[in-house]
Each structure stands twice: as structure tokens, then as C-alpha cells.
Chains A and B, each alone.
Chain A
Amino acid sequence: LEARLEAADLFKKVVEAIKDLVQHCNFDCNDSGIALQAMDNSHVALVSMMLTADTFTPFRCDRNIPLGIDLTSLTKVLRAAQSSDILTIKSEDAPDVVNLVFEGKDQDRISEYDLKLMDIDQEHLGIPDTEYAATASMPAADFKRICSDLLLISEAVSIECTKEGITFKAEGDIGNGSVTLRQHSDLENSDKNVDISLTEPVALSFSLKYLTGFCKATGLSNQVRLCLSNDVPLMVEYALANNSYLRFYLAPKIGD
């Protein structure tokens, strides 16, 4: 494997966004790119990352290799990379270590780290292609703000999507709160758009602890997309350049 990123920033942010959700995971490398799928310890949330080969310049991977990595250790190594550094990830066949090289833009500094790999026997879940009943795109910063505000009211949020908009409702001991985002297009700045497509109305409840955790990915993308269908896990997607993505799945809460 040899994969070179123009700026370490992307990889630093991706790892930062998932390291509190999953501790040990395989980065599955093959000729289409670097992928990762891992569930949190409670098996309630799942992260699915794809960094496509086109994200790297260049990208070369001659055979499928899983790089089993402790994300806490990786975070320590990535601290040594400045956001603007060129990052190269390298690995041999059947590796014991992954090699990370950080180069300053002006090429006067080269840092090189070897990170020990671990054997991780990871369960992969099959995520079916789903036609979601409702898809809502909104500014990622707005979603983060809504989740963190409502977490102060309640542990759970009900998300309701209709043609008019998407409503987040929390009911707690101190009272209730709700935030509605109405569909709208900002002609000046499409990053501010709220776009809803719907085949049927959806109402589901989710843990805000997990949703606020997903929002650690906010810096990766201006917009976030929520995909919902009744009685299936929510998908929260941060789309990245070159068809790369960071997706989170969260199982719903069901009333008893």
C-alpha cells in the first residue's frame, strides 16, 4: 500500500471524528481505496468510512490488506502531522506496522512514524441498499447545534420529517424543546440549503449521546445528510470529495 494525501487534515479529522465511537478497527485497503466499518461497544451505532482511491494522489494497493489499528495510538501519531502536511500511508504485504510520513509543504521537514498493527477479528455487517422514506440535507453546523442544545433537555430526540420540514423534539424533566428546519434554498450560498425529499412522513427516536458524537465529523463537510425510514437505523452522512464519505448508522429507540 502507498497512499498519499495532499493534506493530512482530512485523515486527522476523520480519525478525530470516529475515535471516541470505536477504539480498534481494521482499515481495509484494496485497489478501490481505504474502507472501515466498525460498531461501537454497545452495538447501537456503526461507522462506515470510505476514502476512495481518487482521494489520494497517487494511490496504489496491490492486494487486499486489513490494517488493524488502535485509534488512540493513531491519534497520538497524527498529532505530529500538521493539517497542511502531505501525508503518505505505506505498508508492506503482511505487515507488522503501518508507516506514516508527514512532509511540510515547503519540504524542509519530513517526519516518519511506524505504528504497530494489531490483529482485529471484526464482525462485518451487511448494510442493505435502502430507499429511505425521507432524506434531509442541512448545514452540518446547524445539525450539531440542534443536537447539543437538545441534549441539555433530554437524552433522546424524536426526529419527524414531513414535506414542510424536519423537526427535532426533546422532552425532559425541565420541559420540552423542539427545532424545525424548513426546506429552503439559499441562492447565495448552497451550503446553507435545507433540502428534504420524502416519499412518506417519518418519525423516529434516537439517543442524542450518539448523535452528538457523530457531530464530531462536522468539520469534514459543510452539509450533513440524514436518511430515515420508519423502523430502520438512521444514516447520518458526511460526504467528502471524490465520492469519499463518512457515514454513521444509529439504531432507533422503540417505545415499549
Chain B
Amino acid sequence: HQYQEQLSTFFKPK
């Protein structure tokens, strides 16, 4: 099974 990452894991709020 695969888990869907969210973008906030990689990109931080400006």
C-alpha cells in the first residue's frame, strides 16, 4: 500500500 504525501512536507509556506 502507498501513502499519498502532501506538498507541505516538501515546500514551506512563504
Contact = CB atoms under 8 A, between A and B. Distances in A.
Contacts of A124: 13-14
29 contacts: A39-B7, A43-B6, A43-B7, A43-B8, A44-B4, A44-B5, A44-B7, A45-B7, A46-B7, A46-B11, A125-B7, A125-B8, A125-B11, A125-B14, A126-B11, A126-B12, A126-B14, A127-B11, A207-B4, A232-B10, A233-B10, A233-B11, A249-B7, A249-B11, A251-B9, A253-B4, A254-B5, A256-B2, A256-B3
Contacts of B1: 255-256
A44 B14 CA distance: 17
A123 interface: yes
A233 B7 CA distance: 7
A128 B5 CA distance: 18
A205 interface: yes
Contact of A253 (B3, B12, B13, B14): B3
Say whether chain B's binding surface is mostly helix, strand, loop, or mixed. Answer: mixed
A127 B2 CA distance: 24
Interface residues of A, number: 24
Interface of B: 1-14
Nearest to B12: A126
B5 to A, nearest CB: 4
A104 interface: no
Contacts of B13: 123-126
Interface in A240-256: 249, 251-256
Given A44-B4, A123-B13, A125-B13, 19 more contacts: A39-B7, A42-B6, A44-B5, A125-B11, A126-B11, A126-B14, A127-B11, A205-B2, A207-B4, A249-B7, A251-B5, A251-B7, A252-B5, A253-B3, A253-B5, A254-B3, A254-B5, A256-B1, A256-B3
Nearest to A45: B7
Nearest to B13: A123
Contacts of A156: 2
